[in-house]
């Protein structure tokens, strides 16, 4: 085997397999990290998953290697590279949240999830691209240019966390961190053939995740397998005193749950709810077909498919696009030209208000401005009850729908999004169409329940990946790992290997070379 082939093999390993090679000493973290940096160098000029590459990755990897040689007790993912969504603040790399207003911003502290990843010996590779302040479903709202879907470079990788999903799908990183306020982990997973899980609200710390809508935001894993998601969730999850909404629960091992699911008989007798008010129309035929086939597969292995009524599910989008802008308009008020990032002084005698206005005008993109205006309007005295108040009532009705549904079923299943990856540019000028792409992911955020998206197959009409979403009651994240891993095992068996092995980007990219990058990329954040 040539050196190049060996490196290609390293990037194709799951995090779990790479971790066992690291533990046995067969591979060093420096080798694994270098293989991923080389892969980034080869393909990220096309993909643009990363906004910034860590200058320290190889040093961190070397440190883990020497700790291992010294016989230190290391965690299960020690030495495995990790990509980090740019919404999470880091002390050694800029954190921009995809916005011009935070260009070059250095945080004085690490987000809790980043600190936990570092403490567990994971090796941060860099920061991934995203829609500005996590507003969007395509990464086209990034101030630094869109990310491209590894399955088809002319298509979107989903959003807002398209960078994390594309990095994992293009084998630039085995693991990534994402954030999900209305689907930004799950919808990118759906369109890139990867796995993404939004934890129960309060299950993973939000400390150091640049807030979009605080009552909806959750950080979670973006990976190629369900087991890898469980391994990463085990590292980042659990109570954090720095997050006032963090749950005090003792969580079970999600990696164990995934292992259980893959070998056990969890589908036998499992009650899977499908929502009768979510009809096939509005869904791309290939998405519906893949969803039905996955359900049939589960049924053939003993699951019971039950139609349930969740009449308010479909109003989630309407409620969300009032609640989210309302919370975002308040959270983004801190970008005032004084405390963080950019400052534009329009003329020498400018007042504070003029500096603030000029800074926000130059620093925020159109979608962010749109939502701040919508949010402040919805919160204004005369309209508060009509808009924000009504949306909160709908939110309660959706929560009740979930409570009722989970009296009768163990999990709910939906397609993870209504369409496969759409073309770059297709929906950018039509915010409503962009918002409607979130119809199946949003309700979980409104209700605070966990959701997972795993690949269910390829849509027959375009050959692009489709995801199936499972939702469970709050605190039952482990159930999603069990069910997800069980279905994944059946499907991978049927396909004769992971779906991503069929992505046309493999084994070689359309390699235009990346700008000379080892340190911070030129022209990138
Ligand atoms: N697409 C949704 C939005 O634009 C989801 C965003 C998210 O989860 N961060 O708000």
Q: Which pair of tokens denotes residue 373?
A: 């205006």
Quote the ligand 1 centre to 247 CA distance (angstroms): 23
Count CB-CB contacts under 10 A for residue 99.
30
Average pLDDT over residues 405-433: 97
The CA distance from 7 to 27, in Å, is: 11
**Nearest to 151, CA basis, from 504, 417, 513, 430:** 504
Catalytic residue, from 14, 29, 54, 85: name it: 85
Reduce the secondary structure of 307-360 to three states and give it as a string.
EECCCCHHHHHHHHHHHHHHHHHHHHHHCCCCCCCCCCCCCCCCCHHHHHHHHH
Task: Say yes or no to pLDDT of 525 above 80.
Answer: no
Q: CA-to-CA distance for 247 and 381, rounded, in angstroms?
A: 33
> What pLDDT score does 522 carry?
39
pLDDT, position 240: 98
Q: pLDDT-derived band of residue 504, with 50, 70 and 90 as boundaries?
A: confident
Bridging pattern class, strands 195-198 and 451-458: antiparallel
Ligand 1, atom 10, lies closest to the CA of 135
11 burial (CB, 10 Å; 0-12 / 13-18 / 19+) is buried
Instruction: Give the atom of ligand 1 at the shortest distance from the alpha carbon of 324.
Output: 10
Distances (CA, A) of 62 to 68, 75, 110: 10, 16, 21
Reply yes or no on domain 3-312+398-502 having CATH 3.90.1300.10: yes
pLDDT in tens, 52-88: 999 999 999 999 999 999 999 999 999 999 999 999 9
pLDDT class of 524 with cuts at 50, 70, 90 = very low
Tell which atom from ligand 1 comes closest to the C-alpha of 367: 4
Residue 479 has pLDDT above 80, yes or no: yes
What element of type H or E holds 208? Answer: none
177 alpha carbon to ligand 1 midpoint, in Å?
15
- pLDDT (0 to 100) of residue 450: 98
The predicted pLDDT at position 5 comes to 59
How many CA atoms within 13 Å lie on the side-chain side of 297? Answer: 21
Q: What is the mean pLDDT of residues 259-271?
A: 95
pLDDT band at 502 (very low <50, low <70, confident <90, very high): confident
| Dist. CA 230–CA 125, nearest whole Å | 20
The response to whether residue 138 sits with its C-beta less than 6 Å from ligand 1 reads: no
Q: Report how far residue 469's alpha carbon sits from residue 487's, in angstroms, rounded to the nearest whole number.
A: 11
What is the pLDDT, as a whole number, of residue 521? 42
Mean pLDDT of the chain: 94
Closest atom of ligand 1 to 437 CA is 1
Alpha carbons within 13 A on the beta-carbon side of 86:
40
Model confidence pLDDT, tens digit, residues 12-31: 999 999 999 999 999 999 99
pLDDT at 7: 65
Query: How far is Cα 435 from Cα 147, in angstroms, rounded to an integer?
Result: 19
Residue 180 alpha carbon to ligand 1 centre in Å: 7
Determine contact, residues 477/200, Cβ cutoff 8 Å: yes
Give the mutation target among 128, 132, 133, 135 for probing the ligand 1 site: most ligand atoms within 8 A of CB: 135
Active-site residue flag, 423: no
pLDDT band at 4 (very low <50, low <70, confident <90, very high): low
- Cβ(137) – ligand 1 distance below 6 Å: yes
Tell me if 177 sits within 8 A of 82, measured CB to CB: yes
CB 445, CB 181: distance < 8 Å? yes
**Which strands sit side by side in the sheet containing 50-53, from one edge to the other?**
50-53, 123-128, 81-85, 175-180, 218-223, 195-198, 451-458, 465-471, 411-415, 271-275, 304-308
Radius of gyration of the chain (CA): 22
Given 138, 164, 179, 184, the catalytic residue: 184
User: Ligand 1 mean position to 413 CA, how many Å?
Assistant: 20
Compute the average pLDDT of residues 182-194.
98
By CB atoms closer than 10 A (0-12, 13-18, 19+), residue 78 is buried
285: left (phi over 0), alpha (psi -120 to 50) or beta: alpha
| CB 324 near ligand 1, within 6 Å | yes
Q: Is 290 a catalytic residue?
A: no
């Amino acid at each position: 085997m040539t050196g190049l082939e060996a490196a290609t093999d390293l990037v194709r390993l799951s995090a779990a397999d790479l971790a066992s090679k690291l533990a046995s000493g067969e591979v060093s973290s420096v080798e694994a990290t270098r293989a991923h940096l080389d892969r980034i160098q080869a393909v990220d000029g096309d993909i643009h998953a990363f906004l910034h590459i860590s200058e320290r990755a190889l040093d961190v990897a070397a440190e883990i290697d020497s700790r291992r040689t010294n016989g230190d007790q290391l965690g299960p993912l020690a030495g495995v590279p990790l990509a980090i969504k740019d919404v999470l603040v880091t002390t050694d790399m800029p954190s921009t949240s995809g916005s011009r207003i935070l260009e070059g911003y250095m945080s004085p502290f690490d987000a809790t999830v980043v600190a936990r990843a570092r403490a567990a010996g994971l090796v941060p590779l860099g920061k991934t691209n995203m829609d500005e302040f996590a507003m969007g479903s395509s990464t086209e709202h990034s101030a630094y240019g869109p990310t491209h879907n590894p399955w088809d470079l002319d298509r979107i990788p989903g959003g807002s966390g398209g960078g994390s999903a594309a990095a994992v799908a293009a084998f630039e990183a085995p693991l990534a961190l994402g954030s999900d306020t209305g689907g930004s982990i799950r919808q990118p997973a759906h369109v890139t053939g990867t796995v993404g899980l939004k934890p129960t609200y309060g299950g993973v710390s939000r400390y150091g995740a640049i807030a979009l809508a605080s009552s909806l935001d959750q950080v979670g894993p973006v990976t190629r397998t369900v087991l890898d998601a469980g391994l990463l969730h085990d590292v980042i999850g659990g109570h954090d005193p720095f997050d006032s909404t963090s749950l005090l629960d003792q969580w079970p091992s999600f990696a164990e749950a995934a292992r259980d699911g893959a070998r056990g008989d969890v589908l036998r007798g499992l009650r899977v709810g499908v929502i009768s008010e979510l009809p096939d129309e509005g869904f791309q035929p290939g998405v519906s077909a893949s969803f039905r086939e996955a359900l049939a597969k589960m049924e053939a292995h003993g699951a019971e498919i039950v139609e349930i009524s969740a009449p308010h599910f479909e109003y989630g989008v309407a409620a969300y696009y009032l609640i989210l802008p309302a919370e975002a308009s308040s959270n983004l008020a801190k970008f005032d030209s004084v405390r963080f990032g950019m400052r534009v002084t329009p003329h020498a005698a400018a007042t504070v208000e003029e500096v603030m206005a000029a800074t926000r005008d130059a620093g925020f993109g159109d979608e962010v401005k749109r939502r701040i205006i919508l949010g402040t309007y919805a919160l204004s005295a005369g309209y508060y009850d009509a808009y924000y108040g009504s949306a909160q009532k709908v939110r309660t009705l959706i929560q009740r729908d979930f409570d009722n549904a989970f009296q009768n079923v163990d999990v709910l299943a939906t397609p993870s999004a209504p369409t496969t990856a759409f073309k770059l540019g297709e929906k950018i000028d039509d915010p409503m169409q962009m918002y409607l792409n979130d119809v199946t992911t949003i309700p979980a955020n409104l209700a605070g329940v966990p959701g997972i998206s795993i690949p269910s197959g390829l849509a027959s009409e375009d050959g692009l990946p489709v995801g199936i979403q499972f939702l469970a009651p709050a605190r039952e994240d482990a159930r999603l790992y069990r069910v997800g891993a069980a279905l994944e095992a059946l499907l991978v068996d049927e396909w004769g290997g992971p779906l991503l092995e069929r992505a046309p980007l493999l084994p070689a990219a359309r390699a235009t070379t990346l700008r000379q990058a080892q340190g911070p990329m030129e022209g990138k954040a």
